[in-house]
Amino acid sequence: MLPMDKFKMESTMANEKKVVYFKGAVDEDTDFNALLKNEGPLRLNFAGVTAINSCGIRSWVNFLKELSGKEIIYEECPPLIVRQMNMVPSFLGKAQVASVFIPYICDNCEHEKTVLVTEAQFKGGNPQVAETIPCENCKKGEMEFDGQPKQYFAFSR
Amino acid sequence: MKPARKNALPEEQIALGTFTRKEAGKKVALGFQHVHSQNNCGKEDACARATEKAITSGKVAVYPWEENKESQTAIISSSNSRYEVIPAIAAGLKLKHKRGLRERVESVLEELITNAIYHAYTRKDGDEKYERKNVIQLEKSEVIKIKYFGNRQGYFISVKDCGGSMEFSDLEKSFGRCYGSGSYSQIDSKESGAGLGMYLIFEAVTHVKVVCKRGVSTTITVWISDEHPAKPENFSFNFFEEE
């Protein structure tokens, strides 16, 4: 979590829907108020979040209360955000999770990779994801899911 | 060393068993200064034995996971210096290609360090000296000292402040908020952090040891296992107050 990694929000249109991209570190200085100006469903992309501390979690949980009643969708959540969704249920609140990244690590060369999976593959807490995939780096080893699927997708139950 | 559970016998001060984190957190909230969870199929828990011995002798326990002669050190002199120190420690622990572990170690360091900076030091009126929104330059007598090392089994981190303002009742309250009924909904905007930092640390590490010397120092030491989290029940929490 470096000063140059400071939080910023960027909005774009994707398939005629507005997506707000979160980038950088979420901490005590993060200001989410710009989101209040958005009308309609809020689609939030977490792929660019690099770190989050307890103050950042608290800020987000408190800010979610201000968005109460609004349709909120989380997409492309990296493992560090998935961890927060599992540890602090109010971090997710009533938002829908459209997609998450799952981490894999090679048992031979320790190459790491994240793979994007959609809601259809984990809805209801019964994940339908590959526990191993071939390693594209060493081409010898197998990349294992770096975690336990049921624990990783606990938020979806 | 003062037992938190007043009038309790030494063996009644330790919660021993196979717990989930939530169950263990509730034990702390109920006043247990020592919680040992293990699922070693009947094998002796060396950490629990060390705790029992410490309580009986009135000393602070030294655990097997703490023993190493080659720890490295780092200093935090300002709130911004953590942005260099934390990645440097992760690099020193050779976590470059271990993203999951690296994120966990960096997150724990962030919480331990900010906890020390913003909660350890108080003014004469008892209020916290530093606010989170400000960039803080610590005085020479306030620098935070970090020790760390790694081996095949995992990673040791120790963060020591020179304030000594933590009390066990702080942990009882924060664990009560985070693990009590209606958990997580009690992240209170009125209170700084609401104890979420210690909760995140407790959830992320295998062993936690807190040693407080009132008005002098607080040292929080953790061990983060390198194992796949296949043994979630094997962990411990211990709080010692030195007189």
Residue B39 or A135, more confident: A135
Distances A133 to A112, A118, A129, B55, B59 between C-alpha atoms, Å: 12, 17, 10, 49, 51
- Sheet containing strand B72-76, edge to edge, reads B14-17, B34-37, B235-242, B207-213, B217-225, B154-161, B144-150, B72-76
pLDDT exceeds 90 at position B206: yes
Q: Which of B132, B203, B230 sits opposite A87 (nearest CB)?
A: B203
Q: Which of A1, A61, A105 sits opposite B83 (nearest CB)?
A: A1
Q: How far apart are CA B160 and CA B219, in angstroms?
A: 4
Q: Is the Cβ pair A80, B111 closer than 8 Å?
A: no
pTM for the full predicted model: 0.90
Query: Which amino acid would we find at residue B16?
Result: L
Average pLDDT, chain B: 86
Q: Is the Cβ pair B100, A147 closer than 8 Å?
A: yes
- Three-class DSSP category at A115: strand
**Neighbour tally for A103: CB within 10 Å:** 21
pLDDT exceeds 90 at position B67: no
For the record, the structure tokens of B166 come out as 């933590």
Nearest one of B137, B9, B157 to B89, comparing CA atoms: B157
- Chain A residues within an 8 Å CB radius of B132: 28, 55
Task: Summarize pLDDT for B114-144 with one digit per residue, the tens.
Answer: 999 998 998 888 888 898 877 899 999 999 9
Q: Is the Cβ pair A55, B132 closer than 8 Å?
A: yes
Q: What is the dihedral of CA B202, B75, B101, B67, to 10 degrees?
A: -70
- Chain A residues within an 8 Å CB radius of B201: none
What integer is the mean pLDDT of B76-99?
A: 92
Whole-angstrom Cα Rg for chain A: 16
Helix axes B82-92, B99-119, angle to 10 degrees: 140
Residues pairing with B15 in the sheet: B35
Please report the pLDDT score of residue A47 as a whole number.
97
Q: How far apart are CA A43 and CA A50, in angstroms?
A: 19
How far off is chain A from B71, nearest CA to CA, in Å? 24
Instruction: Pick the range with the lowest mean pLDDT from A57-66, B190-199, B229-238.
Output: B190-199
Distances B4 to A69, A110, B73, B122, B169 between C-alpha atoms, Å: 44, 45, 32, 23, 9
Mean pLDDT per 10-residue run, chain A (157 residues)?
75 84 92 86 94 92 88 96 92 94 91 94 86 93 88 91
Q: Which of B103, B185, B199 sits opposite A80 (nearest CB)?
A: B103
Residues pairing with B237 in the sheet: B35, B208
